[in-house]
Amino acid sequence: MEHLINPKVKDIQISGIRKISNLVSTYKDALTLTIGQPDFPTPQHIMDAGKAAIDAHKTTYTPNPGLLELRQAAAAYVSGKYGLTYRPETEIIVTAGASQALDITLRTILEEGAEVLLPGPIYPGYEPLVRLCGGIPVYVDTRHNGFKLTAELLEPHITEKTRCIILCYPSNPTGRVLSSQELADIAALLADKSIFVISDEIYSELIYDQSHTSIAKYDGMREKTIVINGLSKSHSMTGWRIGFTFAPESISQHMVKVHQYNVTCASSVSQYAALEALTNGVDDALPMKEAYVARRDFVYDRLVHMGFELEKPEGAFYLFPSIERFKLSSMDFTMKLLEEQRVAVVPGDAFSSFGEGYIRISYAYSMEVLEKAMERLAAFVSKL
């Protein structure tokens, strides 16, 4: 019966990140720097709120777009943090993580043949969703621009078929952040164009050297932008699966239809935990961010000392060093490092063909693990 499977699904490949992570599990003595998951536990007060929701039997369906009080808390959160204004009743949807938020957004705005502009390299979760919608991913090479998708790079790729641009900053895998001026330039470029912007801001609370700015704040951008965020990175709630979409009512009213038939609603228990996160845990990310800064600086300095060329990340928890000087493909480098030194990283080609020649290192791990991994990496490259 496999010949009857949707060809778009058959063509999708398992994420290179997961392939490596699954492989690493067979190496019991390996140090893994692969997964972008905070190593901090979910804050206790959030877990207590989830337990309380269970004890209070709050385990039924919620409204399709989510608990109104949670949407109100989300509205207050992005208003206070980022100066964004959205009506809880009609412009916010609570989703099963940011991934499902992306899914319902793309299914709402794309049709067969629509082009979506993406920065390359990029997290591998976008392209399959675009293709499942019949869209055409169009990559913009950012390798020689500090991994930043700017107006200057975007403009030549915009055609009459361009339906959407995906901005995902802070970036996975590079950790780069767009400046206020770079965002303003993109807003000016799109001012007279009927093109959607999906702004994936899941790492918005993990910016180190500046404040987060959303492109939705710029003149003329709110009405064409869908902001996506969630609690996985900011509150170490990856398994709770809570994300959000923030978009004008004219867009949200259609997205919620897709959401309704997709998952009905996000987990009720997780929503009550999320309500606690966004009310009494507004600054829960701060101690994690301080730890990430120290880890970033340590790993970055070690890599530079080893002779790697790389951009210093301003956010998220990844570094993306070049390995071109070693004359190995990113997969060969990754496998040799794993086999010889038992250190696992992600090959750059997992992040599109524009990631070839790089590796991604996650520093969402304890300093003890990072210190040991850097020692092993130094020993490895010294012999290449």
Could you report the per-residue pLDDT of 89-110, keeping only the tens digit for each?
A: 999 999 999 999 999 999 999 9
CATH number, domain 60-280: 3.40.640.10
Give the residue-averaged pLDDT of 298-327.
98
| pTM score, whole prediction | 0.96
Given a cut of 90, is residue 17 above it in pLDDT?
no
Mean pLDDT of 308-321: 98
CA distance 254 to 109: 9
Which among 226, 246, 232, 212 is positioned nearest to 277, based on CA atoms? 232
pLDDT greater than 80 at residue 16: no
List, for residues 141-170, the tens digit of each pLDDT value. Answer: 999 999 999 999 999 999 999 999 999 999
> What's the number of CA atoms in the CB half-sphere (13 Å) around residue 270?
21
Measured CA to CA, the distance from residue 232 to residue 241 in angstroms comes to 7
Specify the amino acid at residue 251: I
pLDDT above 90 (res 12): no
Distance from C-alpha of 381 to C-alpha of 341, rounded to nearest angstrom: 10
Supply the mean pLDDT for the chain.
Answer: 96
Asked if residues 361 and 173 have their Cβ atoms less than 8 Å apart, the reply is no
What percent of the chain shows pLDDT beyond 90? Answer: 91
Secondary structure, 3-state, the chain: CHHHCCHHHHCCCCCHHHHHHHHHCCCCCCEECCCCCCCCCCCHHHHHHHHHHHHCCCCCCCCCCCCHHHHHHHHHHHHHHHCCCCCCCCCEEEECHHHHHHHHHHHHHCCCCCEEEEEECCCCCHHHHHHHCCCEEEEEECHHHCCCCCHHHHHHHCCCCEEEEEECCCCCCCCCCCCHHHHHHHHHHHCCCCCEEEEECCCCCCECCCCCCCHHHCCCCHHHEEEEEECCCCCCCHHHCCEEEECCHHHHHHHHHHHHHHHCCCCHHHHHHHHHHHHHCCCCHHHHHHHHHHHHHHHHHHHHHHCCECCCCCECCEECCECHHHCCCHHHHHHHHHHHHCEECEEHHHHCHHHCCEEEEECCCCHHHHHHHHHHHHHHHCCC
Burial 153-166 (b: 16+ CB within 10 A, else e): bbeeebeeebbbbb
269-280 core/surface letters (b: 16 or more CB in 10 A; e: else): bbbbbbbbbbee
The span from the CA of 175 to the CA of 345, in Å, is 16
pLDDT tens track for 166-220: 999 999 999 999 999 999 999 999 999 999 999 999 999 999 989 999 999 999 9
Q: 248 and 222 in contact (C-beta within 8 Å)?
A: yes
Which is more confident, 21 or 322? 322
C-alpha radius of gyration, the chain, whole number: 21
User: If you classify domain 2-42+285-381 with CATH, what class do you get?
Assistant: alpha beta
Per-residue pLDDT at 22: 78
d(CA 70, CA 346): 36
208, 181 contact by CB (below 8 A) = no
Q: Where are the domains of the chain?
A: 2-42+285-381, 60-280
What φ, ψ does residue 342 adopt, rounded to 5°?
Answer: 55, 45
